[in-house]
Structure 1
């Protein structure tokens, strides 16, 4: 019966689809659906980051801040998977132009949580959150042509 389905669907020469092809075949979304889920996921990420910042001022709020801020950054990063797909997103994250920013960003995500839950170092947690923000910003502007060059030129002009 399966052979008949493959013949009728035009796949008789492709004996078996690989796992990646099956997943991509089953998860095709329309452009409007992709944009909607990008906005929802990115908005949730921003909301989590803002909520985490608001929780910072509560007693024992540092743990909540670190968790919500990290979840917010992960959600914002994951939102781009809806625009270009998860495999393409991963490939582009680790291109040579973004490699250092990606590694620093992912490392700071983990180190923020380590600083709060295992090391109990308040200053380190805040430092790693700041580094998360800077790495995420540097990573994000890498998608805009010549944006990094403009930021570097502006920064060097301000310093000198």
Structure 2
């Protein structure tokens, strides 16, 4: 009986490790539990930054910095689950490489508008575009989601994304 319990325990650990990308080539030495805690902490910190940014909404430069940092933390949190190499590989997958490039480009433009140009109007516009790019990037992980949104836009607005 003890051997069967040990076998099932090892089988569950192997499934958990394969789901969390334990075969990352030895690049990540975190245990599966540490990866889940790292993911949760990074995601919560990102969401907290995005929520805190609403407090300083009247100051678009501070808002842009907090909001963009929150976006990057939330998106980067999945690297704890998959490993950084797997995350980068998925981001550069041909299906979502353009969505990734657009999202990262919008992040850079928002930071440039906030830190270098110091234009409140351009910063707000860049943040709105960044939110749209994040949604489009996130939809790339859901099968057929971008196609459905495009078809919906065609029907509702008589335009295509």
Q: Normalising by the residue count of structure 1, what TM-score does the alignment of the two structures yield?
A: 0.76
Cα distance between partner residues in 2 of 1:144 and 1:28:
29
Deviation at 1:72, TM superposition (A): 0.3
| 1:53 matched to 2:54 | yes
Select the residue among 78, 81, 84 that pairs with 2:76.
Answer: 78
Quote the Cα distance in structure 1 between the aligned partners of 2:86 and 2:28: 14
Deviation at 1:111, TM superposition (A): 1.4
What residue in structure 2 maps to residue 105 of structure 1? 103
Q: Which ranges of structure 1 fall in alignment gaps of 5 or more residues?
A: 1-22
- Higher-Rg structure is 1
Aligned to 1:134: 132
Instruction: Please report how far the alpha carbon of residue 24 of structure 1 lies from its aligned counterpart in structure 2 after TM superposition.
Output: 5.0
Residue-by-residue CA offset, 1:75-118 (whole Å, 9 max, x unaligned): 01110101211001111111222111111111111111211222
Paired residue for 2:154?
Answer: 156
| Greater length-normalized contact order (CA 8 Å, ≥ 6 residues apart) | 2
Moved more, 149-158 or 122-131: 149-158
* Distance in 2 of aligned mates of 1:30 and 1:147: 33
Contact 2:28-2:83 within 8 A present in 1 as well: no
Alignment of 1:111-122 (within 5 A): 111-122=109-120
Deviation at 1:64, TM superposition (A): 1.1
Q: TM-score, normalised by structure 2?
A: 0.76
* Cα distance change on mapping 1:135 and 1:26 into 2, 3 Å: closer
Query: How far apart, CA to CA, are the structure 2 residues paired with 1:26 and 1:81?
Result: 12
CA RMSD of aligned residues (A): 1.8
Q: CA deviation at 1:25?
A: 2.9
Quote the offset at 1:26 in angstroms. 6.4
